[in-house]
Each structure stands twice: as structure tokens, then as C-alpha cells.
Structure 1
Amino acid sequence: MSLSIVIMAAGKGTRMKSSRPKVLHTLAGRPMLSHVLATTGTLQAAQQVVITGHGAELVEAQMRREFAQAPLSFVRQEPQLGTGHAVQQAVPVLPDEGITLILNGDVPLIEAVTAQALVDACAGERLALLTITLADPTGYGRIVRTPDGAQVLAIVEHKDATEAQRAITEVYTGMMAAPTRWLKQALAGLTNDNAQGEYYLTDVVARAVADGVAVVAAQPRDEVEVLGVNSPLQLADLERRHQQAQAVRLMEAGVRLADPARFDLRGSLEVGRDVEIDVNCVFVGCVQLGDDVRIGANCVIRNARIDAGAVIHPFTHIDGDKDGATVGAGSLIGPFARLRPGAQLGREVHIGNFVEVKNSTLADGAKANHLAYLGDATVGERVNYGAGSITANYDGANKHRTVIGNDVHVGSNCVLIAPITLGDGATIGGGSTLSKDAPAGQLTVARAKQLSLSGWVRPKKAAKP
């Protein structure tokens, strides 16, 4: 049966106190709406319709970039006159047959299995509501049932509820699935005769009861799936809940987290056996950690693969971006090191404090232990790259490559002006600035002769008048 998914994302989010559209605020490093679309993308829907309004251009542009291959379309709700009015805007693009699943763009952690359960409960003939029982149901629409509790009769919004109805703890989460043909008819009959003067989507429940359409309920596996975000406080709370759940999953897989409350995963993290992660580490994008990897405190790692036995010392920043970064087995990185996109390190490479590597490959056993820069370089095996040395890879218009052969020793405070090649076994004297290739197996020195001038007097400050 054909499935259409409608996602409501038009709200202004006044309580966020931000010029950014609410659904573009990030959870775990990704816009809330992106989380929802990533989940619905697994449901094999014929179409996904996003209802935009406030900041529509920004929302639509970003989602088109992220989900360019998805069957995604947009309709706009202008002005915003309630949830029922929002879904009415999608009616012209919905088919007459099949099922329509309605979700919220500011409820980011809905799981695919829960959304599918809602579709299955609908089965093309029933109105299926996603409900949950909350200790504090304030602000949610209450589920009103028959005295025996067997059937749903209506949803009453919090502001319209009586005191007795506000005591009900089963609430509507804002998500439902309905036969599309019937839903279109129900939406056409909505009125705004309520405390808010809005067209409520929840009023379709009473219409279903009147039409003899069975109203059923499904429940999520966890409360976090249905928690919406209306304020920075709620967003922070949901972030911590989400991060705690991810930390628990990793620890159950054998990862040793020094403190699960000080851990952030903003993407995917694949881990081997006996991985240890210290406090305040942030993992972004796609990160892979091999067996016995140790990550020190306060590291940020993005789009990188770190092979078995490598140690990432504290305060290291690894950012693979689109090109990725690789740290070979047994390597030692940091503290205070920076690996940028295209950094590809072999086995047992040492990158020490305040060393930066960008778009460079370092073969097995190469070392740059102190205060150095390697950009656009190919570095051979067992190279020792001295403190304070740099590859001058940019001429003001173009980037050029430095090639350093095996077993090269580069002294401290050297400048290698690319393009340049240092042959195997070459030694570069400290303080040299090279603009020509250095032959293999020889000592190359390029620096001014040292002079000591007798009789030279250091300048003195002029006396004040």
C-alpha cells in the first residue's frame, strides 16, 4: 500500500528566542528536521512532504542539499493557523489512495520501528495515534477514552481541557497515520472554534468517531522518541538524554567511557575491542576506532579512522572533513596536535605537541614530535622531522608538494619551499631554508655564515626632554 509521509516544520519557535528556524536547531550536531528525514528515509515511502513556513527558504535549501536523492517535496503554510491548517496545505499533493503518516519536524528522535508500527496499526482503514503516558502531561493534548478505556473518543488540547481532562496522563504525541482518502475529507471539515482560534489536526479524531472509523493507539518504545523541542532548555535536555543513550550502547558493546555524562557523539562511531575514551571527547561524522585505541581527554575527532593500538593524547583535534583522516596502527598523536583533511598516517607514526598535518601522507615510523607543520607533503618511512620546521606549500596563488624520502633527517627550524624533493637518507642542517632539491645521502645546509661583530652597541632609548 502506498505510503505518503507529511512532516510539519512550519513553526516559528518563538520560545527558542532565535532568528534560526526551530527545526534547523541542531541535536547531536544535526538539524532536528534532518533526524526525522533520515528516519523516514528508511520507510520506503512513495513521497515525503515537508510543510514549511517560518524561514521556509532556509529550511528547504538545507534539506534539499542533505537529501538530494530522496523523494522530497515542500509545501508552505503561510500564515500558520494551526496543525490542521498545516496538513491542509499538503492535501493537493497527496494521492487519493494509501496511507498518510504525519510526523513533527521538532520531534527528532522518533525511531523507524515506531513510525512503522503506527503505519501498521492504521493498515489503510483505521486512524492510528501515537500516544504515551507521561508523569507530567502539561501542554499535551489528552487522550479521552470510553469509560472502559477500550476506545479513543477524542483528543482535547491542554488549553481547551477541563480540570478532569487535564488529570489524564495519556497524551497525544502529535503523530498519526490515517487512510489518505478519509484524511482529506476530515481535514476539509475542520473548524477553528476553540480557545486558540486555530484549526487543530486533533479534531479529526472526533470526525473519525462520527464516521465509524476505528481509532487505535500505538506507543513508542521510549519516551525520548516523542519529546518535542520548544525552548533551548528542552533542546539541551533532549541532547543529554540522547547522548546518555548513545553512551550506554557503546559501553554495552565494551567501550570504557571515563564518564558517560561527558561524552558527545554527533554522527556514527564504530569501535573495536578494549577501546578507552576519556572525558569531554566529541566525535563528529563517521569515526572508526580499532582494537585497543585510547582517546585522551578533550579530543575532537571528525571523519577519521584510527587503527588498532593507536593513542590519541589529550587536546588533539582530528578533522578529516570530506577527505577523511587516517591514523595507522600503534601511532602516537598529541597532546595538542592537529590533523586536518587528507592526513594519512602509517603505522607507528608520532605526531607530537603543536604539530599540524594537512593533506599529507606519513609512512611507517615517521616522526614530527614538536612545533611543526606538514602541508601537501609525502613523507617516507622513519623520517625525523625537526621542531619548528615547516613545508612552505603555498606561493600566494597555488599549492605545491614536498616529497621527503625514507630515512631523511630534517633539523630544527627548517623551511622547505615547495615544490621540493629530499632524497632518501638526506640530512638537512638545522635552520636551513631550502628552495632546491636535496640529494640522497648527503648533508644539505642553507643558512648564512655566523658572524660576531665586536664594537657593536645595542641601541638605547632616547632620553626624555
Structure 2
Amino acid sequence: MSLNIVVMAAGKGTRMKSRLPKVLQKLAGRALVRHVLDNTAALHADARIVITGHGADQVEAAIAGDGIRFVRQEPQLGTGHAIQQTVPALNAGGTTLILSGDTPLISTATTRALVEACAGDKLVLLTIEYADPTGYGRIVREGEAVKAIVEHKDASDEQRRIRECYTGIMAAPTEALKRWVGQLNNDNAQREYYLTDIVAMAVAEGVPVVGVKTADETEVLGVNSPSQLAQLERRHQLAQAEALMTAGVRLADPARFDLRGTLRCGQDVEIDVNCVFEGEVTLGDGVRIGANCVIRNVTIGAEARIHEFTHIDGEALGASVGEGALIGPFARLRPGAQLGAEVHIGNFVEVKNSTLAKGAKANHLAYLGDATVGERVNYGAGSITANYDGANKHRTIIGADVHVGSNCVLVAPITIGDGATVGGGSTLTKDVAPGQLAVARGRQIVISGWSRPQKKK
């Protein structure tokens, strides 16, 4: 049976007070509408249609791909008018699932339940019971059958006591939906076409109207303002934190945890407060993450320790940290950083596009860019690889058991052989053979009886 998924994403979102269209505002690092699309991907719809309007070019550029079709609603004349624009794009027969691009946390399980309940021959409404339903459209039933949606302003006193409300999400038989939206009119105060008017049409035709309830308020909360966005962010982050803790992760404070991507954890992982995880992150058994770290697109091996205030960003290249490694505090790992087991990267050390073999150490105030570093290397404080000549990047190769003294500059391309030593303060431009000592600095001069200049009065 054919399935169409339609996402309404044409609204301006005036209350967001932003140049960015509302559906592109970020929740957990992803656009609101992207959440909706990702959460319904497992339904394997035959057609996925996004209705755009305000900021259409921006919205379409941000989510294009994966077979998504776009239909524009210009001007925006209500929800019914939006669905009218999709009629030529809907696959015939089957079911059409209608979602809102600003209701990002609708679950796969709920959307699947709606599609199954519709079965191509029923109109299915997603509903929820509120303790205070003021302002929401009420679901009026006769027995189990839904007979109407009554807006709060139009409801009688008896109807206002109904707590079951419509969420704005529905599944409908596609052919009937096409027919119904073609019959909508805008004979109302707002001069708009309301999709909810099709409920009366279905009842009049004898098409069963079913209300499927959700008990999870979070999955049907929409976003209309920065305040609502922040509140939904906290709900979402707490839900992710609870799921991780259920799986055994130790979070020092679930209220001070942010996941904006995918986090996979082994056993006995500990995460301190105010850490942010983005992209694809994997933490091995026994990993400990200190407070105030930002960790993005990296795999961290078992028993590694990431000290406080460390920033890791693998970006597209990714990064990796070996088993038992010690990173930070105040360290920075950039794309292409590949650290072996028991590597030490200390405070104010930056590593970019470099491989460090087992046991290598750069403990203080250093830079390693475009370098290959052997096992057990000790890389001194203040030392750098000068990898850029103004036009091209070049590689530095440092063999096993090399000792690089403090405040050295290794001008790439250069190779330091196994077991070599680089004297502190050296600037090297030529290769060093294995086992050699290389010193390249001006000879120390001591002047006796020298006086500092004095300020003129």
C-alpha cells in the first residue's frame, strides 16, 4: 500500500524574531524539520513531500536530497490550503501522513501507529489529553468514534470540559483526502482553509474517524518562540540523558548534559557536567570525560581519560584516541588527529592531521600539525611543526624514541630518525639521522658589566 508523508513547513514563525525560517531553527544541533524527516525515515514512504513557503529557498537548500519533493504554498492561506498544493504530487491510493515541520520530536512508533490505524480507509487523528486544554481544539466523540474537532472559542461549556485535544497530526486515505481538500472553503473570520474541516466531511461520508492517543506530551509540542525552543531542548536532552543512564552511563548531572548527534558508550563510562557531544562519538569501556568538554566526531578507546576543558573536533576526517590515553586539560584535537594507546596530550597542546604512536607524549604548550610521530616520543613544551610554507602543507616525520626539547621549530618537510635528540630552542630545516643529536641555535654570549637602559626623566 502506497504511503505519502507530507510535512508542512511553510510558516514564517514571526514569534521567533529571526531571519531564519522557523523550521530551520536548531534543536539538539539539527533543524526542526530535519528531526521530523529523520524520525519518519524508517517508515520507507513512497513519497516524502515538504511544503515550503516563507524562506522556501533556504529550507529547500537545507534539506534537499533523499528523494524529498518540494511543493510551495504561496501565499500561506491555512493548513487546508497547504495540503491542496500537494494533491498533484501525492501517489495514488494508500495513506497520506500529515506532519508539522515545527513539531520535531514526533516518534517513529507513533507515526507508524497512525499509518497502521489508517490502513488506507480511515481518517486518523493524533490526540492527547491535557490537564488544562484551554486554547486547543477538542475531540468530540460518540463512544469511540470521533465526530468532530471543536475549536476552543467555538466550544460549549460542556465541550470545554473535554480534555482530549487534537495535535495537528493526522493520517488520511489519500484518494479521500484529495477529494476533501478540494471541497474546503474559507468561509471564516481568518479567510483561511482549515484542514480540520475534513473531519466533518469524513463523518458525513461515513468514513470512520479514529483518534489515536499519545501519552507523551513532548512528542507533540510545537515550537513558536525562542522560549518554547529552549524548553523543548531541555526536555529532549533530559530524555537522551535518561536513556544513556538506563544503559549504564554515569552522568554527573543529567540536567547539564547536551547531545547533538549520536553517542555510543561502552560499560562504566563517566561524564562530568557541562559536556557537549556532537556528530558521531563513540566512547569505549571505562572512558572518563571531565567537565566542560566539547567532543565532536571522534572515537575514544577504552580507559582513556579526557580531562576538563578539552575540545575535540574530528569534523569530516574524524579523530581517534587510543586506549588508556590522557588528553587535556585545555587540549585541542582537530580533524585527522589519530592518537595511539597511552598517548599523552597535555594542556594547551593542539594536534591536527597527525598520527601519534603508542606512548608518545606532548604534555605542554605545543603544536603538532601534519606529523607522523613514533612510539615513546617526548615532544617538548613550546615546540611546533612548521607545516605550512604559505602555499602548501608539508609533513614532519618523527621516529620512535625521539626526544624533542622545549621551544623547537621543525620546519617541514623533515624527518627525525629513531632515537634522535633535538636540543631545546633549535630550529631545524634538515633531516636528522637516527640516534643523532641536533642543535641549531645561536651561541650564547655573556656580556659582563652591561647595564640596562634607563628611562629619561
Shift of 1:157: 2.8
Shift of 1:167: 3.1
Change (3 A) 1:417 1:158: farther
Residue 118 (structure 1) aligned with residue 114 (structure 2): yes
Residue 81 (structure 1) aligned with residue 77 (structure 2): yes
Q: Is the 8 A contact 2:267 2:286 kept in 1?
A: yes
Residue 96 (structure 1) aligned with residue 92 (structure 2): yes
Relative to the length of structure 1, the TM-score reads: 0.96
**Corresponding residue number in structure 2 for 1:222:** 216
Q: Secondary structure at the match of 2:299?
A: strand
* Count of aligned residue pairs for this structure pair: 457
Change (3 A) 1:296 1:431: same
Q: Secondary structure at the match of 1:261?
A: helix
Q: Is the 8 A contact 1:97 1:180 kept in 2?
A: yes
Q: Is the 8 A contact 1:114 1:219 kept in 2?
A: no
CA RMSD of aligned residues (A): 1.2
**Corresponding residue number in structure 1 for 2:428:** 434
**Corresponding residue number in structure 2 for 1:241:** 235
**Corresponding residue number in structure 1 for 2:61:** 61
Shift of 1:156: 2.1
Residue 336 (structure 1) aligned with residue 318 (structure 2): no
The within-5 A match list for 1:146-157 is: 146=142, 149-157=143-151
Q: Is the 8 A contact 2:383 2:405 kept in 1?
A: yes
For structure 2, the 5+ residue unaligned runs are none
**Corresponding residue number in structure 1 for 2:25:** 25
Per-residue displacement from partner, 1:272-316 (whole Å, max 9, x unpaired)?
111111001111011111111100000110011111000000000
The within-5 A match list for 1:317-328 is: 317-328=311-322
1:115 maps to a residue whose letter is T
**Corresponding residue number in structure 2 for 1:310:** 304
**Corresponding residue number in structure 2 for 1:451:** 445
**Corresponding residue number in structure 2 for 1:34:** 34
The within-5 A match list for 1:178-327 is: 178-220=172-214, 222-327=216-321
Shift of 1:97: 1.4
Q: Is the 8 A contact 1:46 1:71 kept in 2?
A: no
Q: Secondary structure at the match of 1:34?
A: helix
Q: Secondary structure at the match of 2:255?
A: coil
* Structure 1 segments of 4+ aligned residues over 6 angstroms from their partners: none
Residue 142 (structure 1) aligned with residue 142 (structure 2): no
Per-residue displacement from partner, 1:67-109 (whole Å, max 9, x unpaired)?
x2x2210011111111111111111111331211101101111
Q: Is the 8 A contact 1:159 1:195 kept in 2?
A: no
2:38 maps to a residue whose letter is A
CA distance in 2, matches of 1:168, 1:246: 32
Q: Secondary structure at the match of 2:231?
A: helix
Q: Secondary structure at the match of 2:410?
A: strand
Task: Give % identity.
Answer: 72
CA distance in 1, matches of 2:151, 2:315: 45
Q: Is the 8 A contact 2:129 2:215 kept in 1?
A: no
CA distance in 2, matches of 1:419, 1:262: 45
CA distance in 1, matches of 2:59, 2:16: 16
CA distance in 2, matches of 1:210, 1:108: 33
2:72 maps to a residue whose letter is R
Q: Is the 8 A contact 1:273 1:291 kept in 2?
A: yes
Q: Secondary structure at the match of 1:395?
A: coil
CA distance in 1, matches of 2:106, 2:443: 71
Q: Secondary structure at the match of 1:321?
A: coil
For structure 1, the 5+ residue unaligned runs are none
CA distance in 2, matches of 1:414, 1:440: 18
